[in-house]
Amino acid sequence: MLKPDIAAELRTILGVEGVIDKHEQLRTYESDCLTNYRVVPALVVLPTSTEQVQAVVRLCHREHIPFVPRGSGTGLSGGALPSEGSVVIGTARMREILDVDLPNQRAVVQPGVINLWVTQRVAPEGYYYAPDPSSQQVCSIGGNIAENSGGAHCLKYGFTVNHVLGMKLVLADGSLVEIGGAALDTPGYDLPGIVVGSEGTLGIATEITLRLMRKPEAVQTLLAAFATCDEAGEAVSRIIAAGIVPAAAEIMDRLAIEAAEAAVHAGYPDAQALLLVELDGPRTEVVSQLERVSALCREAGATELRLATTDEERALMWKGRKSAFAAVGRISPNYIVQDGVIPRTALPEILREIAEMSAAAGLRVANVFHAGDGNLHPLVLYPDKNDYEKAEHLAGDILKTCVAHGGSITGEHGVGWDKKDYMPVMFETADLATHQLVRCALDPANLCNPGKVYPTPRLCGEVPGPYRPHPVELAGLGERF
């Protein structure tokens, strides 16, 4: 419980409409899209400017109140899950595109701006914002930054980190820093690179400078049907080995196809696996690559190839893929969306292992993946709610398999609250302590989104409070910045 005068003080900063303290309204913020974890926050505030964010954070710092940044709440790892007694700082009223500078290909936006709005704003002039998470119609740029979000087109164009030039960041004591800049590179440490992907634990981004891209001259989208996922994976390996980097290469297995088809009626072919390949660039290059990619798909065993001939057909092909997570709700009311990474060449082996684990657990797994990046999204279905723990166990075993093959526990959805206990599967204790040195340098009182990403207290502790030196420091083996 917060002192009653805290809400009153926040109202003087934000106005009545900027503070939410009624229990039934606070419940809207009790989770992100990982709804298995829920904590009702003490308060929610909705600032409209950098200055207001600073004033709120200063107050939290003064009173030792933990705070949790929140964008649209579409996160899938519990990143925006409130901590006990916390103030959630939502960016839903910070939704302005502040500046668009097309000659220099950049835009400055507030963090609550929805990803797709950036492209919609600049598309008439022939530009777009490249990172395209499937949630792009609703997720915010602030959330994208915190999660270093990816999307189907990140294979060729890179993740969010490759499209953020700089930002204003409110640190955990309420001070404001500007990092990066308007140019493609700035001298010194890559500070935006540290903040992008830090999952809201290093501060709150309040103004972000994004890189815009020129729309390619030509785009072609090809759908290839296969009798097995192995063959579809083989086609992707052959395409990349041929020196072609498609804008996107996405695979869906039988179960995911069925779900997507039921949801959006994309008219997909009847197949065990579908590969969606998008090629873009100068027209002549795309034409010749399309010929080569079609041949490589046939060599890998494609039973049918379909080329989108109109924008509508292309949009429908993508709609099925982009709706796949939600569509799975049609075949199972409960499911876990997993996110792991593997070396692309390990795909057939991992899929076989997932099938074996799925059979042993008696739970079905639908597979949707960014095949070009080796980013898997197994969807573990558990129609019976009582099977939740079994499903969690299976989802965890899939992650461990990814790591055992030289991969990672997350490709784009982040660690958040959900996967922090898997961090030691990838990192040694000393590695985790080193990571935490960054966090403690910026937030020694551990107030900014505490309890996320890292499994146990390392340096400044996982609970708000004064700084506690780590044994590594006490032994003189490491020092605090």
Ligand X SMILES: Cc1cc2nc3c(=O)[nH]c(=O)nc-3n(C[C@H](O)[C@H](O)[C@H](O)COP(=O)(O)OP(=O)(O)OC[C@H]3O[C@@H](n4cnc5c(N)ncnc54)[C@H](O)[C@@H]3O)c2cc1C
The residue ranges that bind ligand X (CB under 6 A) are 32-33, 68-76, 79-80, 91, 111, 133-135, 139-140, 142-144, 146-147, 149-151, 199-200, 204-205, 325-326, 412-413, 449
Task: Compute the least distance from the CB of residue 38 to ligand X, in Å.
Answer: 14
**Type of residue numbered 18:** G
Query: Under a CB-based contact definition with an 8 Å cutoff, are residues 247 and 219 in contact?
Result: yes
Task: Compute the least distance from the CB of residue 283 to ligand X, in Å.
Answer: 28
Task: Compute the least distance from the CB of residue 211 to ligand X, in Å.
Answer: 17
Is 143 or 180 the residue whose CB approaches ligand X more closely? Answer: 143
How crowded is residue 204: how many other Cβ atoms within 10 Å of its Cβ?
Answer: 29
Is 205 or 381 the residue whose CB approaches ligand X more closely? Answer: 205
| Residue whose token pair is 């890559």 | 190
Is 170 or 279 the residue whose CB approaches ligand X more closely? Answer: 170
Is 70 or 420 the residue whose CB approaches ligand X more closely? Answer: 70
Query: Under a CB-based contact definition with an 8 Å cutoff, are residues 339 and 415 in contact?
Result: no
- Those residues whose C-beta lies under 8 Å from the C-beta of residue 310, and which sit 6 or more positions away, are none
Query: Under a CB-based contact definition with an 8 Å cutoff, are residues 80 and 124 in contact?
Result: no
Task: Compute the least distance from the CB of residue 378 to ligand X, in Å.
Answer: 14
Alpha carbons within 13 A on the beta-carbon side of 319: 15
Distance CA 309, CA 326 (A): 27
Rounded-to-5 percentages of helix, strand, coil across the chain: 40, 20, 40
Task: Compute the least distance from the CB of residue 176 to ligand X, in Å.
Answer: 13
- Torsions phi, psi of 417, nearest 5? -90, -35
- Those residues whose C-beta lies under 8 Å from the C-beta of residue 98, and which sit 6 or more positions away, are 108, 109, 110, 207
Task: Compute the least distance from the CB of residue 447 to ligand X, in Å.
Answer: 13
Is 151 or 166 the residue whose CB approaches ligand X more closely? Answer: 151
Is 286 or 381 the residue whose CB approaches ligand X more closely? Answer: 381
Is 228 or 408 the residue whose CB approaches ligand X more closely? Answer: 408
Task: Compute the least distance from the CB of residue 375 to ligand X, in Å.
Answer: 9
Distance CA 397, CA 301 (A): 31
Is 29 or 382 the residue whose CB approaches ligand X more closely? Answer: 29
Is 289 or 436 the residue whose CB approaches ligand X more closely? Answer: 436
110 secondary structure, DSSP code? -
Task: Compute the least distance from the CB of residue 199 to ligand X, in Å.
Answer: 4
Q: Which residue is nearest to ligand X, using beta carbons? A: 143
How crowded is residue 348: how many other Cβ atoms within 10 Å of its Cβ?
Answer: 16
Distance CA 204, CA 111 (A): 9
Is 325 or 454 the residue whose CB approaches ligand X more closely? Answer: 325
Task: Compute the least distance from the CB of residue 134 to ligand X, in Å.
Answer: 4
Distances from the Cα of 412 to the Cα of 48, 53, 370, 407, angstroms: 28, 27, 11, 13
Our measurement of the distance from residue 217's CA atom to the centroid of its chain's CA atoms, rounded to an integer in Å, reads: 28
Task: Compute the least distance from the CB of residue 91 to ligand X, in Å.
Answer: 5
CB contact burial 321-342 (16+ within 10 A = b; e otherwise): bbbbbbbbeebbebbbbbbbbb
